[in-house]
Amino acid sequence: MTYPTVAVIGGTGEEGSGLALRWAAAGYPILIGSRSRERAVAAAETLRALLPDGRSARIGGDSNAEAAAAADLVVLSVPYSSQAGIIEQIRAGCEGKPVVSVVVPLKPPRVSHVWRPAGGSAAEEAQALLGNGARVAAAFQNISATHLKDLDHVVDCDILVTGDDKEAKQAALDLAEAAGMRGIDAGPLANSGVSEGLTAVLIGINIRNKVKGSGIRITGV
C-alpha cells in the first residue's frame, strides 16, 4: 500500500505530535509543520527516536507553508485562536487536497463549557477560509493527547468523522484506523460543531473525575 504524505500543521504540539507518531509507525510519511522550521526539524527528530526499536519511518520537519505544499494530505492541529492566521499561510499549499481538522474551539477560562464560534465550528470556518479548492473533514477532536505517544496504549475512544467530501472523510477514517482507533462517519461538516463541543464536555468530565483522558464510544454499530 502507498501511503499519502501527511503534513501535520502545529505538529510540534502534544496532539499533533502524538498522532504523527502513530501514523508514522503505521507507515505514513510525515512532515511536521511549525512556525519555525528549526522547531519542526527538532520535533521530527524527537519523534523518530520514539519509534519502536528497528522501526524506521519518514518523519521530516518544515515551516507550516512548506510542509502543507509538499504533502498529499494536511492535518490542522493548532489552537483555534491561531487558526485563521495559520490558514492564511498554508492556503496555497492546501489547494486540491484533503484537510483534516483536529482543532477544538475553546473559550478560556471556561474551557469545560461548550462554545461555538460564529462560523458554526472551527472546521466550517477552516473550510470557508481555505475556499472550495481544499476539502475539509473534522476528526480526532475527542482524542486526548495524554497517551498518544505510548504506542501500546489502547485509546478507549471512538473518532467522529464529519465532512462534506467523500475522499476527505475517507482519508480521516483511514488515519483513525492507522492510529489504532475506530472512526465513525458522523455526517456532514455541519455536524462538526457537536464533536468539537463534546471536547469541552469531556474536559469537564476529566476535571470532575480527576482523570486525563475520558472519551466516547458509539454503541450499536
Applying CB under 6 A, does 39 fall inside the site for ligand NAP?
yes
* Residue 78: HSE in the Cβ half-sphere, 13 Å Cα cutoff: 22
| Cell output for 34 | 511549525
Applying CB under 6 A, does 13 fall inside the site for ligand NAP?
yes
Collapsing DSSP to helix, strand or coil, 148 comes out as coil
Applying CB under 6 A, does 16 fall inside the site for ligand NAP?
yes
The neighbour count for residue 211, using CB atoms within 10 Å, is 12
Site string for ligand NAP, 83-122 (x = CB under 6 A): ---x---------------xxx-x----------------
**DSSP character at residue 137:** E
Contact 77, 13 (CB under 8 A): yes
Collapsing DSSP to helix, strand or coil, 31 comes out as strand
Shortest Å distance, C-beta 83 to ligand NAP: 8
Report 178-217 residues binding ligand NAP (CB under 6 A).
199
Which of 24, 60, 73, 77 forms a contact with ligand NAP (CB under 6 A)? 77
Q: Which residues bind ligand NAP (CB under 6 A)?
A: 10, 12-16, 34-36, 39, 77-80, 82, 86, 102-104, 106, 141, 143-145, 199
